[in-house]
Structure formats: structure tokens, C-alpha cells
């Protein structure tokens, strides 16, 4: 015999009363605003909780924006990959010109510029200042001829530039080939490491945010124990009991994310001047990359989601623990 | 309406609260449950309201077998049961109106219908003028009537009251019980746990006596 056949005609209906969408949306909006109102009644405590969450979110956000800036540097660098081919000492200008012409025939090469030993010496003199050391050389110039090889942008990957350097260094009269892509490769490796670290930090701190919000909500649940019991007594579902706490968690997460956004902006503002000075010193037009609308919305969404999740875990744990025990004291 | 079959409740720390309790309360009955404090009255009411599960035995309320109900269904079950407590269990930071509205708010009833029914319930218990008041400013009798209004506002089939007159003088007690009688007149099944023997004797209603965890029929009125 199944259950329904045993139930008498007077059986109480226990089916969920489905709300229509506008009623449902209204309830949620009310909860959303009520949670904000409750927080505003204890502004200092709420602000401090949000600030703690904000600090926890600010660190991974700062790392993320720093990495975005580093990516920008490596991308620019790869775009102008340049090889420097040092000629053997004592080769004559004709040989150098011939080598340069040979280089120009290589597919990956964009253009080749020739630096004479005299140019190099002048450049060095300009950089190092007239300190007498160069004068001691007299008329002899110890510097070699140099070919500056600009790589075509489409061939400017670490691998192809390395292959090109290898190929060019095999040419006669070429002493050796240097390229700054090694530096880019290292930077790439560092960036990769940084990305990994930021993920680890972000995960650990996301966990911290969950704990902070979970604990804040737990205290609020303790504070409202009586109210929750009365609500359950008059037939409130778990979802009904949970909803205001979820929205409180969402607000904490959102305000925490806003706080984190302010921290990141302040940090960027603080380093913007020095970064510009550094870029200028390198003759680069690089400018600091600020977080865009997508990153800002992502930060807020992550904050809100962590807030909701932390609150959900906290309330669910409370409801689960209570389910097995005496739920209401008469 | 309420049927208990061989219900046993044991607490790990205090021992047996109920032993082999069987009872049957039909729809529309008015029943007193008497006994000394600690005899198991509250436990029995808690089991009927599904606030607790029996250690063994069957509980059938409103056509549902309590042990077969899922946790999800229990809130919907409770909406059919009104409960009144000795200490009222009102929310002191909310107005009388908001307290009474709670059972309707949790169902998601519309604002206007809620207000209409809350005012009807408050009118019934004679507190319509106090709807804006905060419970703490009311007398004990008034607070109890707010509790009763909250218990009936959802139009429950069963009204359970645990010592509803516990802190009230005889005059107020009579008023409170006559309120329960009124609800019983319109078909609500009423079960009142009380140790006020004078009150029970005066009302001449079916009475269940609970002593040391066992229940038997005390008084059964002659059919009219």
C-alpha cells in the first residue's frame, strides 16, 4: 500500500505555495533592502567587517592588476624584438655591408641597421661622460662593428627569435649574436610564476573572506536565535530563514569589494608617478594600466558571491545542527 | 485529527518523558491536558506540533504520519497548527501588528490581504487599537492575546496552547479560555495544556490527565 491511499480525505495539504514572479522578486528586493537597513543600524561594526573583507580581497586584486601591467610590458617588448650581431674585430666595412645584405634576405628579418665602431664609441662617450679612460685609448677603437637586426613582428616569438639568433651567429665574420628576448623569456617565466602565486593567494584569501563572512553571519544568527525559532514555529521554510542572512552576506561582500577597489586604486595612484618616470627613463611610452569596467565588475561579483556563499554555509550549518536537536524551547 | 499510538519519548539526560501514550482527538474537539509541571504536557504538545520526534510510536496529525514527513514539508505542516505559549514568544523589537503578521509573511501572502487578516485577528482578541504598540508595553494578558492572534491568523486546523493562562489572574484566564472556545466554535480543534484545575473543572470539557509520562481520560462530558 502506498502512502496516499492511507491518507484520509481531510489530509492537510503540504505543497509549496508557488509565488508568481513579481511577488517573488518583491520579497527578494525587500530582503535586500532590509539587510542593508539592518547593517546601517550598526554602521561601525558593519564597516569594520567590510574593511576586513576588503583587505582580504585587495591583495589578490592588486596582484592581478600588477600582472596585467607586466603582461603589457612583455607584449610590447616582443613586438620590437631586436638582435644585436657583433662582428669580429678587424673586419672591413665591405664585409659588414655584405653581411648586412645577407641578413636582409632572411625571411624573419624586418630591417638591419649598421652601427660603426666610431658611432658606438661616441655613444659610449656620451653615456659614460668624458672621464679620460677613452682618451687613454688614443686613436685605437676597441669596439666592433654592430648590426642591429629588427625581427618582423609576426616572427617575434621566443622560439623563432632564438632560432634566428642561432642561424645568424653561424654566418662568417659574426662574433656572436645577443638578443634581449632572453630577458622577455625570463619575464614571461616570472609572470607565470606570479600568476600562479596570485591564484594561490586569491584562493587562500577567498577562504579567509568566507570565514570572515561566515563568522559574522554566525554571530548574527546567535543574536537572532529567538526570532529564527519563532519564524520556524509559524511555518517559515529554511529558505525564508536563510534569505535575510544571504543578503547580509552579499552586502558585506559588495562593500568589501568596493573597499578593495579603493585600496587598489590608491595603490595604483601611488605608483603611477614612479612608473611613468621609470618608463621615460627607458624611453618607453608605457603607461600604467588601470582596472577597466570588466575587472571592476568581476571584483564586485566575486565579493558578492563569496558573501552569499559564506552566509549560506553559516545558516545551513545552523539549520542542520538544529534539525537533529530540540528545535524550539516551549 | 490528532492520533498518538504507543508513543514513547525518552531524553538521554532526564529519562522517560512519555511512556506508551495513546490518544485520539477528533476534528473540532476541545480538550484539556492536565497534570503537574514536569509530567510531560509540554513534551506531548511538542510531539504533536512536530517540534520533536518520539523515541518510538506513531504520531498522526492532520492525516500525516509524522515519521513519514520530510524535513522540507515540516514548515508547511506547521502552518496548519497554531501554537500559544506561556511566555508568549513574541518578538519584542517588532510591533503587535508585525508579530501577528509573521505566519502570513512566511507564506508570502500579499500586503493588503495580510493587513486585513491581521486586523481581523487583532479585532477578535480585542487589541485592534494596539496594533502599533510594542509588546513590552502591554500587560501580560494583552501579550497573551497577541500570541493567540498570531496563532489563529493563519486559520489553523489545530490550536495547541501550553499553559496559556499560567501567569494570569482568574478573571483574565477566563477571558483567554473563552477566546479558545470561540475558535473551537468555528471548527478549530483545540488542545490546552494547563495545571489550572479550577479552570478545567469549570469548563466541563474533555480532559486528558498526564502523570509520570502516562495519559488517561480524566473527564468526558456526557453527549448533549
What does the pLDDT look like over B161-171, one tens digit per residue? Answer: 999 988 788 88
Considering only CB atoms, B106 lies closest to which of A235, A328, A330, namely A235
Q: What is the DSSP string of A79-148?
A: HT-EEEEEEPTT--HHHHHHHHHHHHTSTTEEEEEEE-HHHHHHHHHHHH-S-SHHHHTTT---PPPEEE
Question: How far from chain centre, in Å, is Cα A168?
Answer: 39
Average pLDDT (B59-73) is 88
pLDDT digits 0-9 by tens, A264-292: 999 999 988 888 888 888 777 777 888 88
* DSSP state at residue B221: P
pLDDT of residue A6: 39
Identify which of A179, A183, A175, A188 has the alpha carbon closest to the alpha carbon of residue A109: A179
Question: How far from chain centre, in Å, is Cα A11?
Answer: 58
Measured distance CA(B18)–CA(B215) in Å, rounded: 9
Grid cell digits, residue A169: 651567429
Grid cell digits, residue B174: 477566563
Residue with the bigger pLDDT between A17 and B94: it is: B94
Identify which of B178, B151, B170 has the alpha carbon closest to the alpha carbon of residue B80: B151
Q: Are B32 and B128 in contact (CB under 8 A)?
A: no
pLDDT of residue A289: 84
CB contact under 8 A, A330 and B162: yes
Tell me the nearest-neighbour CA distance from A250 into chain B, angstroms. Answer: 22
* DSSP state at residue B13: T
The pLDDT confidence band at residue A143, using thresholds 50, 70 and 90, is confident
The pLDDT confidence band at residue A76, using thresholds 50, 70 and 90, is low
What are the CA-CA distances from residue A153 to residues A99, A111, A252 (Å)? 22, 11, 47
Grid cell digits, residue B166: 499560567
- pLDDT of A319 higher than 50: yes
pLDDT of residue B158: 95
The pLDDT confidence band at residue A9, using thresholds 50, 70 and 90, is very low
Average pLDDT (B150-157) is 94
Q: Which residues of B touch A235 (CB under 8 A)?
A: 75-79, 103, 106-107, 154
- pLDDT of B38 higher than 90: no
- The angle subtended at Cα B1 by Cα A330 and Cα B6, nearest 5°, is 70
- The angle subtended at Cα B142 by Cα B141 and Cα B147, nearest 5°, is 95
Scanning chain A, the segments in alpha helix (DSSP H) are: 3-6, 21-40, 43-79, 93-104, 117-128, 133-136, 158-169, 181-223, 225-233, 238-281, 293-323
The pLDDT confidence band at residue A5, using thresholds 50, 70 and 90, is very low
**Strands lying side by side in the sheet with B64-65:** B15-25, B2-11, B56-61, B64-65
Measured distance CA(A327)–CA(B11) in Å, rounded: 14
Q: Which residues of A touch B78 (CB under 8 A)?
A: 232-235
pLDDT of residue A26: 82
Identify which of B109, B78, B4, B187 has the alpha carbon closest to the alpha carbon of residue A236: B78
pLDDT digits 0-9 by tens, A210-222: 999 999 999 999 9
Average pLDDT (B131-151) is 94
Measured distance CA(A248)–CA(A33) in Å, rounded: 9
pLDDT of residue A255: 95
Provide the sign of the torsion angle of the four alpha carbons A290, A293, A298, A304, taken in this order. Answer: positive
Q: A138-142, A160-164, B100-104, B155-159: lowest mean pLDDT where? A: A138-142
Q: A53-57, A107-111, B136-140, B177-181: lowest mean pLDDT where? A: A107-111
The three-class DSSP label of residue B131 is coil
- pLDDT of A52 higher than 70: yes
pLDDT of residue A330: 33
Please state the pTM of the whole predicted model.
Answer: 0.74
pLDDT digits 0-9 by tens, B167-205: 788 888 888 999 999 999 999 999 999 988 888 888 889
Residue with the bigger pLDDT between A320 and B126: it is: B126
Q: A72-76, A146-150, A208-212, A256-260: lowest mean pLDDT where? A: A72-76
Is A297 an interface residue toward B (CB < 8 Å)?
no
Residue with the bigger pLDDT between A241 and A137: it is: A241
- pLDDT of A48 higher than 80: yes
* DSSP state at residue B52: S
Measured distance CA(B147)–CA(B127) in Å, rounded: 11
CB contact under 8 A, B91 and A10: no
- pLDDT of B144 higher than 80: yes
How does the average pLDDT of chain A come out, rounded? 82
Residue with the bigger pLDDT between B119 and A9: it is: B119
pLDDT of residue A182: 65
The pLDDT confidence band at residue B101, using thresholds 50, 70 and 90, is very high
Measured distance CA(B127)–CA(B100) in Å, rounded: 11
- pLDDT of B24 higher than 80: yes
Q: Closest-CA residue in chain A for B77?
A: A14
Measured distance CA(A327)–CA(A319) in Å, rounded: 9
The pLDDT confidence band at residue A326, using thresholds 50, 70 and 90, is very low
| pLDDT above 90 coverage of chain B, percent | 60
The pLDDT confidence band at residue A93, using thresholds 50, 70 and 90, is confident
The pLDDT confidence band at residue A324, using thresholds 50, 70 and 90, is low
Q: Which residues of B touch A330 (CB under 8 A)?
A: 42, 45-46, 51, 85, 162
Measured distance CA(A155)–CA(B87) in Å, rounded: 83
- pLDDT of A1 higher than 50: no
Residue with the bigger pLDDT between A223 and A22: it is: A223
Is A327 an interface residue toward B (CB < 8 Å)?
yes
The pLDDT confidence band at residue A184, using thresholds 50, 70 and 90, is low
The pLDDT confidence band at residue B109, using thresholds 50, 70 and 90, is confident
Q: Which residues of A touch B51 (CB under 8 A)?
A: 233, 326-328, 330
Residue with the bigger pLDDT between A31 and B152: it is: B152
CB contact under 8 A, A10 and B62: yes
Grid cell digits, residue B22: 495513546
Q: Are A235 and B78 in contact (CB under 8 A)?
A: yes
Amino acid at each position: 500500500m502506498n502512502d496516499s491511499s492511507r491518507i484520509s480525505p481531510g489530509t492537510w495539504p503540504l505543497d509549496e505555495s508557488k509565488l508568481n514572479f513579481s511577488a517573488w522578486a518583491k520579497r527578494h528586493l525587500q530582503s535586500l533592502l532590509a539587510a542593508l537597513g539592518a547593517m546601517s543600524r550598526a554602521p561601525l561594526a558593519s564597516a569594520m567587517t567590510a574593511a576586513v573583507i576588503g583587505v582580504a580581497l585587495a591583495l589578490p586584486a592588486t596582484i592581478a592588476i600588477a600582472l596585467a601591467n607586466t603582461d603589457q610590458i612583455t607584449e610590447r617588448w616582443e613586438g620590437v624584438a631586436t638582435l644585436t650581431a657583433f662582428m669580429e674585430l678587424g673586419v672591413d666595412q665591405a664585409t659588414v655591408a655584405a653581411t648586412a645584405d645577407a641578413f636582409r634576405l632572411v625571411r624573419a628579418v624586418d630591417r638591419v641597421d649598421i652601427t660603426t665602431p666610431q658611432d658606438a664609441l661616441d655613444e659610449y662617450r656620451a653615456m659614460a661622460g668624458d672621464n679620460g679612460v677613452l682618451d687613454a685609448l688614443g686613436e685605437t677603437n676597441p669596439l666592433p662593428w654592430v648590426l642591429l637586426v629588427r625581427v618582423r613582428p609576426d616572427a617575434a616569438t621566443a622560439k623563432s627569435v632564438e632560432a634566428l639568433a642561432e642561424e645568424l651567429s653561424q654566418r662568417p665574420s659574426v662574433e656572436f649574436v645577443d638578443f634581449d628576448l632572453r630577458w622577455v623569456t625570463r619575464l614571461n617565466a616570472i609572470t607565470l610564476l606570479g600568476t600562479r602565486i596570485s591564484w594561490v593567494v586569491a584562493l587562500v584569501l577567498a577562504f579567509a573572506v568566507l570565514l570572515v563572512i561566515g563568522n559574522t553571519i554566525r554571530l548574527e544568527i546567535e543574536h537572532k536565535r529567538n526570532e529564527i525559532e519563532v519564524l520556524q514555529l509559524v511555518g517559515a521554510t529554511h529558505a525564508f530563514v536563510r534569505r535575510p542572512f544571504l543578503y547580509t552576506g552579499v552586502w558585506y561582500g559588495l562593500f568589501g569589494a568596493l573597499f578593495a577597489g579603493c585600496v587598489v586604486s590608491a595603490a595604483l595612484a601611488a605608483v603611477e608617478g614612479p612608473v611613468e618616470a621609470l618608463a621615460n627613463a627607458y624611453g618607453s611610452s608605457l603607461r600604467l594600466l588601470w582596472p577597466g569596467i570588466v575587472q571592476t565588475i568581476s571584483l564586485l561579483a566575486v565579493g558578492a558571491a563569496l558573501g552569499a556563499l559564506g552566509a549560506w554555509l553559516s545558516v545551513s550549518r545552523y539549520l542542520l545542527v538544529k534539525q537533529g536537536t530540540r528545535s524550539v524551547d516551549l | 485529527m490528532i492520533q498518538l499510538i504507543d508513543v514513547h519519548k525518552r531524553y538521554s539526560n532526564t529519562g522517560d518523558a512519555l511512556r506508551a501514550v495513546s490518544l485520539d482527538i477528533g476534528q473540532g474537539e476541545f480538550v484539556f491536558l492536565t497534570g503537574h509541571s514536569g509530567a510531560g504536557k509540554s513534551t506531548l504538545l511538542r510531539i504533536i506540533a512536530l517540534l520533536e520526534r518520539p523515541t518510538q510510536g506513531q504520531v498522526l496529525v492532520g492525516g500525516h504520519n509524522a515519521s513519514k514527513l520530510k524535513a522540507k514539508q515540516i514548515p508547511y505542516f506547521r502552518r496548519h497548527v497554531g501554537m500559544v505559549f506561556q511566555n508568549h514568544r513574541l518578538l519584542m523589537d517588532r510591533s503587535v501588528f508585525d508579530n501577528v503578521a509573521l505566519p502570513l509573511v512566511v507564506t508570502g501572502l500579499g500586503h493588503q490581504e495580510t493587513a486585513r487578516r491581521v486586523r481581523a485577528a487583532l479585532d477578535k482578541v480585542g487589541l485592534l487599537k494596539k496594533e502599533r504598540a510594542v509588546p513590552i508595553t502591554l500587560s501580560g494578558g494583552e501579550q497573551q492575546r497577541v500570541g493567540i492572534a498570531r496563532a489563529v491568523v493563519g486559520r489553523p486546523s489545530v490550536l495547541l496552547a501550553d499553559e496559556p493562562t499560567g501567569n494570569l489572574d482568574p478573571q483574565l484566564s477566563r477571558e483567554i479560555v473563552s477566546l479558545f472556545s470561540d475558535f473551537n466554535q468555528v471548527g478549530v480543534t483545540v488542545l490546552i495544556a494547563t495545571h489550572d484545575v479550577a479552570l478545567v473543572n469549570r469548563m466541563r470539557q474533555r480532559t486528558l490527565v498526564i502523570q509520570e509520562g502516562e495519559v488517561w481520560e480524566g473527564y468526558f462530558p456526557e453527549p448533549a
